[in-house]
Structure 1
């Protein structure tokens, strides 16, 4: 009598390789690709990555490339390493990312000192140059964070520092000198907004697509959506709910986009939602408040939807699907 066992999924990918000593450029190219992917060296030419399909495919292509160099390579999927605990392996990844963050930390510290001196009344500096440097460092940070597979504490700390640096830059550049009063809004209950028709402006784009997804996902599962010209807002039925439209029930409030307003109104505090809100804010408000690196790519996708959709309803449905995928990626 045989007993069936549920097969466990692999946890790690081990990559072994050897390449001819010459040309040296070939060896360096492989090393750079492994480093960019976030692989950590275990011993000699043995590297490790957390198991997922993307990493597995990447390493398979790398095997083909190395074979083309007259070298040898192999990929192995494993559940564990007998001589190491998973926590020890995770620590190796965190240490590697920490060393990379440390290099960036020095550059952000320098920017912070320059901004601090301006705030204290020192001789004005090239704020545009500081802004450009901050944008460059932000991209470098995002590149490391993409391979910070286990969310190291160093990455979290540096992320907070970057947010403060963006706020300091905004204040010295004159954008933040006029303080916006915090938006006052009434708390809402989703129970009062069931099976409703939600109305917004025609030609839906970033904030409207995202807000429609938020509504149907977390507030009104049976929501219907309709579109009007902004000038017709006073002519709609009283039972309809208006959003992202001038004079609407849910729209921009203070420095918040509609997506953020709806989140706050209904008390939605899901961590992935907060990450999405930062991206949507930067795209819709165009103030780079959060420096969301994903914003540009998402905008390109939504622009493609807007150009190819058959009508407003088709555009909204496709946009909602994109935000569902974005939510899954942040969860």
Structure 2
């Protein structure tokens, strides 16, 4: 069953016509013909809002329910929602980024990650208008994940694998005070955010040990606490990145602002649907990595960014 909008737009003002067209496009409407637009019945409220605006400006609009009489009609309507061409165009952009990986120098890491983020946002936008996702959608998501892994393999060779999902025990912060914390050198999103979380909420006197990120197995120095590498005390577990694991184990995961930060970090580190701040955070962190060759200075500079995100109104419930 579908919601059907039958409308005749007002001739004036043009701004109303443009707003209506943009709203229909953003909603992923299928078009039966000029003035007849479809959405799944569950999105009828979207068409109700469009109809109200059209009527308020002198046009005519009616939202009805449409049911197919047979499978042939149903298939014909579903074909109107097909997004194969859009996924194909997205795939061409993904292949272009894949080709860049073979030619871009190490100094181009920021550009690579920015390009990947743009791809992720484009895919998320496409998925919002794909009301009947199929094979093309699944393949695009897999391609995006593979690209993320390829960029990590090129720019951050020691990225840890995820341990099998398991219950994470609560830990007492008192047992982790004034410790040395070891992680891979040249930290990116998850390590930068984890270092901030450690010093801000867990161990204010934390000191850092930077391990060479040369692709060889890492060993935790005696007496240190390792994070975000294979074999570390704290690293990826199941669907969670290191930041999320630390937050859960030290009882910080109930804070809505930290939950939003966790979403940002997760998206930058392993992929996923981006938040509005994701691209900006990626650009800022990438710029800081270019400015600061000393990792202690980099962590300090990034901490100011995470402090600001934590305090931002968007991170706090109204």
TM-score using structure 2 length: 0.55
Deviations along 1:133-165, one digit per CA (max 9) or x if unpaired, are 221221121011122111122221111111111
Q: Is the 8 A contact 2:267 2:273 kept in 1?
A: no
Q: Which residue of 1 aligns with 2:87?
A: 101
Q: Which residue of 2 aligns with 1:178?
A: 158
After superposition, residues 140-159 of structure 1 pair within 5 angstroms as 140-159=122-141
Q: Does 1:288 align with 2:259?
A: no
Q: Is the 8 A contact 1:282 1:288 kept in 2?
A: no
> Aligned partners of 2:6, 2:128: CA distance in 1, in Å?
23
Which of 77, 87, 91 is the matching residue for 2:75?
87
Judged with a 3 Å threshold, the aligned counterparts in structure 2 of structure 1 residues 150 and 304 are, in CA distance, closer, same or farther, namely same
Judged with a 3 Å threshold, the aligned counterparts in structure 2 of structure 1 residues 149 and 253 are, in CA distance, closer, same or farther, namely farther
Unpaired stretches in structure 2, ≥5 consecutive residues: 174-200, 204-225, 227-231, 243-259, 279-309
| DSSP-derived class of the 2:5 partner | strand
Judged with a 3 Å threshold, the aligned counterparts in structure 2 of structure 1 residues 181 and 33 are, in CA distance, closer, same or farther, namely closer
Deviations along 1:66-88, one digit per CA (max 9) or x if unpaired, are 01221111100233356953232
| DSSP-derived class of the 2:6 partner | strand
Q: Does 1:46 align with 2:36?
A: yes
Instruction: Report deviation, 1:182.
Output: 6.8
Q: Is the 8 A contact 1:14 1:49 kept in 2?
A: yes
Which of 28, 34, 58 is the matching residue for 2:46?
58
Unpaired stretches in structure 1, ≥5 consecutive residues: 1-10, 204-228, 232-245, 262-278, 309-331
Judged with a 3 Å threshold, the aligned counterparts in structure 2 of structure 1 residues 90 and 65 are, in CA distance, closer, same or farther, namely same
Instruction: Report deviation, 1:172.
Output: 2.0
TM-score using structure 1 length: 0.53
> Aligned partners of 1:252, 1:105: CA distance in 2, in Å?
38
Aligned length: 217
Higher relative contact order (CA 8 A, sep 6+): 2
> Aligned partners of 1:83, 1:107: CA distance in 2, in Å?
35
Q: Is the 8 A contact 1:15 1:76 kept in 2?
A: yes
Instruction: Report deviation, 1:295.
Output: 9.7
Judged with a 3 Å threshold, the aligned counterparts in structure 2 of structure 1 residues 47 and 286 are, in CA distance, closer, same or farther, namely closer
> Aligned partners of 1:39, 1:181: CA distance in 2, in Å?
40
Which of 75, 88, 100 is the matching residue for 1:114?
100
| DSSP-derived class of the 2:3 partner | strand
| DSSP-derived class of the 2:270 partner | coil
